[in-house]
């Protein structure tokens, strides 16, 4: 594993012209839920022991680990959203990288080289090792490393997608409790389909519907609709609900788009998507502004 100690200028926010947006919301960061995770929350670094090592973290660094772990890969500029000090942010990244908890890479997103952050195996182990055993409900899952290179550009935009929709949920009085990636849902689905006691009779339609019902998903024209991102939250009235969110790209057919819409997903379009089909797309905004995603 490489420990990146190069100049951190690429990790700092880039200020470019953007279209008018709701500044109150765009400047606010919705943190990933950290309930049940025993890591430092203050402004000063504290010693955190794990296995045979001792790490030194402060609250802002704990939040970076939680965020990157929850979404697997996050652009550095998105992590800087809502931070008042660029220097402090770069120092956090250096400290985490030097301790072997994160790794920084450059990948193309929308044809632009983009600096991203991922957890190392040590970073994931640190998060997993400091969960509260008494946490109620399904725990937040964390991920390490880069997988499926073809999907990296898409996956790297999911945190941005989360910011856009989580902000709406909080505005409605909701409290975010967990984030679930499509990878997790797909893994559960495959485990369910390959269970030892599964009947070999029939066309599998009953299994698809059973899984969909158990996970509050939709089956459209015989196809199980899985979202890119599920946000679980508690409503202002105390109900536990979820919001399924999809990042639409130019590769979606009309049928695919219709299926996602019928499933009730919150649909967002990335900058420039739709151009190949002759549609219009809003390309204004900056990488730091979740409102540059157009909600369909």
Encode pLDDT of 246-258 as tens digits: 999 888 889 999 9
Q: What stretch(es) of the chain map to CATH 1.10.10.10?
A: 16-155
Strands 266-269, 240-248: parallel, antiparallel or unpaired by DSSP?
Answer: parallel
Is pLDDT above 90 for 291? no
Average pLDDT over residues 164-190: 94
**pLDDT score, position 148:** 78
**57: helix, coil or strand?**
strand
96: left (phi over 0), alpha (psi -120 to 50) or beta: alpha
241: left (phi over 0), alpha (psi -120 to 50) or beta: beta
Confidence band of 275 (pLDDT split at 50, 70, 90):
very low
Is pLDDT above 70 for 64? yes
Find which of 133-142, 151-160, 272-281 is predicted with most confidence, using mean pLDDT: 151-160
**pLDDT score, position 276:** 43
Q: What percent of the chain has pLDDT over 90?
A: 60
**pLDDT score, position 271:** 59
| 164 contact partners, CB below 8 Å, separation of at least 6 | 268, 290, 291, 293, 295
Is pLDDT above 60 for 32? yes
Please tell me the distance from the alpha carbon of residue 53 to that of residue 47, in angstroms, as a whole number: 10
**pLDDT score, position 287:** 40
What CATH architecture is 16-155? Orthogonal Bundle (1.10)
Please tell me the distance from the alpha carbon of residue 25 to that of residue 289, in angstroms, as a whole number: 9
Please tell me the distance from the alpha carbon of residue 266 to that of residue 119, in angstroms, as a whole number: 28
Find which of 8-12, 27-31, 59-63, 189-193 is predicted with most confidence, using mean pLDDT: 59-63
**pLDDT score, position 24:** 46
**pLDDT score, position 50:** 95
**pLDDT score, position 13:** 46
- The per-residue pLDDT for range 68-112, each reduced to its tens digit, is 999 999 999 999 988 888 999 999 999 999 999 999 999 887 778
Mean pLDDT computed over every residue of the chain: 83
Is pLDDT above 90 for 147? no
Confidence band of 284 (pLDDT split at 50, 70, 90):
very low
In the chain, alpha helices (H): 23-26, 59-71, 76-79, 86-98, 121-129, 152-155, 158-171, 182-193, 205-214, 254-262
- The per-residue pLDDT for range 234-246, each reduced to its tens digit, is 999 999 999 999 9
Q: What is the dihedral of CA 88, 114, 119, 9, to 10 degrees?
A: -30
Per-position DSSP letters for 104-165, written without gaps between them: EEEEEETTEEEEEEEE-HHHHHHHHHTB-TT--SSPPP---S---GGGHHHHTTHHHHHHHH
| Greater pLDDT, 83 or 11 | 83
Chain centre to alpha carbon of residue 292: 17
Please tell me the distance from the alpha carbon of residue 135 to that of residue 99, in angstroms, as a whole number: 28
Burial status of residue 172 (CB atoms within 10 A of its CB: 0-12, 13-18, 19 or more): exposed
Which helix (H) or strand (E) segment is 55 a member of?
Answer: strand 53-57
If one counts every other C-beta atom within 10 angstroms of the C-beta of residue 225, the result is 20
**pLDDT score, position 6:** 46
**218: helix, coil or strand?**
strand
**pLDDT score, position 108:** 85
Q: What percent of the chain has pLDDT over 70?
A: 81
Please tell me the distance from the alpha carbon of residue 143 to that of residue 119, in angstroms, as a whole number: 7
Average pLDDT over residues 124-151: 84
pTM of the model: 0.82
């Amino acid at each position: 594993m490489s420990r990146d100690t190069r100049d951190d200028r690429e990790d700092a926010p880039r200020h470019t012209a953007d279209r008018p947006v709701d500044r109150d919301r765009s400047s606010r960061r919705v943190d990933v839920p950290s309930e049940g995770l025993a890591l430092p929350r203050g402004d000063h670094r504290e010693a955190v022991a794990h296995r045979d090592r001792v790490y030194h973290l402060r609250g802002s660094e704990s939040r970076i680990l939680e965020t990157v772990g929850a979404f697997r890969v996050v652009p550095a500029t998105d992590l800087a959203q809502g931070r008042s000090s660029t220097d402090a942010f770069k120092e956090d990244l250096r400290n985490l990288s030097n301790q072997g908890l994160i790794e920084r890479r450059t990948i193309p997103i929308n044809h632009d080289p983009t600096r991203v952050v991922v957890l190392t195996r040590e970073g994931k182990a640190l998060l997993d090792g400091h969960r509260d055993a008494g946490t109620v409900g399904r725990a937040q899952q964390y991920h390490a490393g880069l997988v499926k290179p073809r999907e990296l550009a898409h996956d790297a935009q999911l945190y941005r997608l989360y910011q856009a929709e989580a902000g709406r949920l909080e505005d409605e009085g909701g409290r975010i409790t967990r984030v679930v990636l499509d990878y997790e849902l797909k893994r559960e689905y495959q485990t369910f389909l390959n269970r030892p006691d599964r009947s070999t009779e029939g066309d599998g339609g009953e299994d698809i519907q059973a899984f969909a019902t158990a996970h509050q998903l939709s089956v459209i024209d015989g196809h199980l609709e899985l979202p890119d991102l599920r946000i679980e939250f508690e409503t202002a009235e105390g109900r536990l609900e979820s919001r399924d969110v999809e990042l639409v790209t130019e590769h979606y057919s009309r049928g695919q788009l219709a299926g996602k819409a019928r499933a009730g997903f919150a649909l967002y379009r990335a900058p420039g998507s739709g151009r190949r089909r002759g549609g219009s797309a809003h390309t204004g905004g900056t990488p730091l502004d979740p409102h540059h995603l157009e909600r369909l």
